[in-house]
Amino acid sequence: MGGATMDKEPILEVKELKTSFRTERGKVTAVDGVSFDVFKGEILGVVGESGCGKSATAQSILRLYDEKQAIHEGEICFEGKELLSLRPSEMDKVRGNDISMIFQDPLSSLNPVFTIGNQIAEAILIHKNVSKREAYARVLELLRLTGIPAPEKRIHEYPHELSGGMRQRVMIAMALACESKVMIADEPTTALDVTIQAQIMSMIVELNQKLDMGVILITHDLGVVAEVCTRVVVMYLGQIVEEADVKSLFTRPLHPYTQGLMKSIAQLDCDRSQPLHVIKGTVPSLHQIPEGCRFAPRCPFADDLCRSKMPPLEQYGTGQKARCWHAATISEEGEAIRA
């Protein structure tokens, strides 16, 4: 399990973040009023399926979208600064420096015509006023930190000469280059094999503990979440539907979507003769968001209230929140909950 000692003060606060895009079919709101905090030293998981807005949230925090196409509302507070109101030049200083990001596909995230040493050094030289020699010394240090063998040799290699797992380590090295306080990892292991995934995830946990760095881990894989995260936020169609610490989430998921997700995963010890649990229907398109609770059309517990009014995100016990009119009664009725 991940997570070092947690401070009471959050280092990153996302408040009612809204991100909309102008498309040829109208305005689409990919992130709709999302709020969460990231504490120092924790690993926060952001879980959801396609269209839920988890990647959009991450990209919005770093303002990676072209702001002629994307409109942001809300606030993102980091170390006393409100990120959405920073000037572009000020935001540049935050990216890669205070808050860094690693992406899903390490091959296309690295420039094929530069050596990896060059690219990691660039991450340093953009932000820190050090000499090239000092930068390269740091690069070697980072490569060792991320477990890349023979770093003196690797520094001169090109991305295509490395395997997928190695490339992801290089990406992580780049993200750590400036000792950021927060690292956003957007599906960092989805493109990797399961055995490599295990290595990378344990490295992220180790780094999180060693460097006391906050990590936002975006993934669709609940298994990864269980292994690595301290707290979890579940998203559906642009909203947060549940927030909890890892233990509570897996012992007592409150929201029907979370429950459904957990039950529909084929686990290594499930009964092979039984059909898998299914969440009926499909995720609606962002152009056709349902009235009332967004999950209602697919929810086994939905009633007229659910279909007409959107439930707010409410607190249930310490640190657990759910966006559901019936969260309290559903859990008590006890559907088979994983222990």
Nearer residue to another protein within complex by CB, 14 or 162: 162
Distance separating alpha carbons of residues 45 and 186, to the nearest angstrom: 10
Q: At closest approach, how far in Å is the CB of 40 from another protein?
A: 23
Question: Could you tell me the smallest distance in angstroms from the CB atom of residue 130 to another protein?
Answer: 32
Query: 43, 2 in Cβ contact below 8 A?
Result: yes
Q: Are strands 182-186 and 99-102 parallel, antiparallel or unpaired?
A: parallel
203 forms part of the interface with another protein (CB under 8 A) = no
Q: What CA–CA distance (Å, rounded) separates 181 from 215?
A: 9
* Complex with another protein: residue 76 or 254, whichever CB lies closer: 254
Q: Which of 221, 231, 239, 322 binds another protein (CB under 8 A)?
A: 221
Minimum CB separation of residue 4 from another protein in Å reads: 18
Question: For 51-129, where are the alpha helices, taking DSSP H only?
Answer: 54-61, 88-94, 106-109, 116-127
The answer to whether 256 contacts another protein (rule: CB under 8 A) is no
Beta bridge partners of 184: 101, 216
* Residues 136 to 195 in contact with another protein, rule: CB under 8 A: 163-166, 193-195
Name beta bridge partners: 15.
75
Q: Which is nearer to another protein, 113 or 339 (CB)?
A: 339
CB-CB neighbours of 319 under 10 Å: 11
Report the nearest approach of another protein to the CB of residue 192 (Å). 8
Smallest separation, CB 195 to another protein (Å): 5
Residue from 197, 208, 230, 239 in contact with another protein (CB under 8 A): 197
**321 phi, psi to nearest 5 deg:** -130, 150
CB of 148 to another protein, least distance (A): 11
Alpha helices in the chain (DSSP H): 54-61, 88-94, 106-109, 116-127, 132-145, 151-154, 164-176, 194-211, 222-228, 246-251, 256-264, 304-308, 327-333
Answer for which of 226, 289, 310, 313 binds another protein (CB under 8 A) is: 226
Q: With binding defined as CB under 8 A, does residue 84 bind another protein? A: no
Among 67, 179, 265, 303, binds another protein (CB under 8 A): 265
228 vs 316: CA distance, rounded Å: 23
Q: Would the CA dihedral through 27, 28, 32, 36 be positive or negative? A: negative
89 binds another protein (CB under 8 A): no
Q: Is 289 in the site for another protein (CB under 8 A)?
A: no
Least distance in angstroms from the C-beta of 22 to another protein: 13
- Return the residues of window 7-26 that contact another protein according to CB under 8 A: 24
Q: Tokens standing for 178?
A: 């400036």
d(CA 273, CA 37): 42
Query: What is the binding site for another protein (CB under 8 A)?
Result: 24, 49-50, 163-166, 193-199, 201-202, 220-227, 246-247, 250-251, 260-262, 264-268, 270, 272, 275-279, 282-283, 338-339
